[in-house]
Amino acid sequence: MCRDTAQRSVTDVGRHFLQIPGPTNVPDRVLRAIARPTIDHRGPAFARLARELLDRLKPVFGTRHDVVVYPSSGTGAWEAALVNTLSPGDRVLAFETGHFSTLWCEMATRLGLVVDLVPGDWRHGADPAAITDLLTAEHAAVMVVHNETSTGVRSRIPEIRDAMDATGHPALLLVDTISSLGSMEYRHDDWGVDVTVGCSQKGLMLPPGIGFNAVGPKALARRGRLPRSYWDWDPIIAANRQGFFPYTPPTNLLYGLREALIMLEEEGLPRVFARHDRHAEATRRAVRAWGLQVLCADEREHSSSLTAVLMPDGHDADAVRSLILERYDMSLGTGLGRLAGRVFRIGHLGHFNDLMLAGTLGGVEMGLLG
């Protein structure tokens, strides 16, 4: 057998390592739950499932209040957060912390909002000190991505809330937790967040297809005038009181969500967060041992869900990713936007243990050695 044929055959055996920052690996328990027969979404068995789910979701968000569930991507949950709270022409203050923060701002602009974007270098999170200088009486909301999936940088949400409170400003705080929910500590109520955006395919260990809004009382009371129908909270919350939805729900994904939430409860959220912290620290130490840089430049803002690795000038991160995929059957996250070709991203979130991390880091190291 020639060497090239032998090399290609490596990818035909064993498991594929899916180490992008989401969608993440789906546990067998969750896959089996999703495979259950579909039931009548207007019947009593579904009502029991829905009530159980809605109760189990609240601790993951750190809230005692309503969590709205949509058959959608996280992008849909972004839109729901905006159209339920804001009116045409409202000003919002947002922070450029990476590719996804800019996409959320672009959506807000298309919806008829005026976005005041605080520029960033994509290596730091949102700056709480900027709140004091930039938040004006015209701002209706502040938009922040808690954990920027494109950069591996976390923003310090409690400090941002404290800065807003110090000004006495009534603006709503809208936070994206798409790549932190279920993987990193997050406290919707205690941190004074008004709307939290989340989705299913990352720390919650599910396939894509469910979006979430955790809704605080201030957001629920201050309803905007942007057009909305499918995304309207009111009919969903009303139907949820009886265990139902105003549209056809993703029943089988909800079976999987229940199983995923049970798994998080069995491990215990503090242990889940500690596991992610440990894996992230181990990954950063490996990156430094390789002689490379972690993209995140502030020790206080390291993500526990993923690590973005900055390649030296003259080296193509996508070439490294392609080599690792071809030789070792491992998928790493690509660089997005201005980071295209400059970084690769290692996902270490969700259903993930020490040996999986050791295999991941070993695969990256072999790829770097060429």
Q: Are 317 and 344 in contact (CB under 8 A)?
A: yes
Residues forming beta bridges with residue 94, ordered by sequence position: 117, 143
If phi > 0 it is left, if psi is from -120 to 50 it is alpha, else beta; for residue 142 that is: beta
Q: Rounded distance, CA 174 to CA 218, Å?
A: 12
Local structure of 214: helix, strand or coil: strand
Total residue count of the chain as it appears in this document: 370
Q: Rounded CA gap, 364 and 346, in Å? A: 9
Task: Say if residue 345 carries a ligand binding annotation.
Answer: yes
Burial 204-222 (b: 16+ CB within 10 A, else e): bbbbebbbbbbbbeebbeb
The conformation of residue 27, written as its DSSP 8-state character, comes to P
Q: HEC states along 313-357?
A: CCCCHHHHHHHHHHHHCEEEECCCHHHCCCEEEEECCCCCCHHHH
Which residue's structure tokens are 């993930």?
A: 352
Q: Which residues are annotated as a binding site for substrate?
A: 345
Q: Which residues are annotated as a binding site?
A: 345
